[in-house]
Amino acid sequence: MRRRRRRAEARGRLAAAVSAFERLGARLWAERARGELAAFGERSGEPRGSGPLTLLTPQELQVVRLAASGHTNKEIAAQLFLSPRTVGHHLYTAYPKLGVTGRAELARLVP
- Dmax over CA atoms of the chain, in Å, equals 43
Helix (H, G, I), strand (E, B) or coil at 86: helix
Are residues 106 and 89 part of one domain? yes
Q: What pLDDT was estimated at residue 50?
A: 60
Are residues 11 and 54 part of one domain? no
Q: How many CA atoms lie within 13 A of 56 on its CB side?
A: 27
Q: In terms of residue numbers, what domain contains 105?
A: 49-111
List alpha helices for the chain, DSSP H.
7-24, 27-40, 58-68, 73-80, 84-98, 103-109
Number of domains in the chain: 2
CATH number of the domain at 75, please.
1.10.10.10
Are residues 57 and 30 part of one domain? no
pTM of the model: 0.62
Residues of the chain with pLDDT under 50: 45-47
Query: Measured between alpha carbons, how far is residue 56 from residues 25, 49, 90, 100 in Å?
Result: 32, 12, 9, 13
Are residues 67 and 15 part of one domain? no
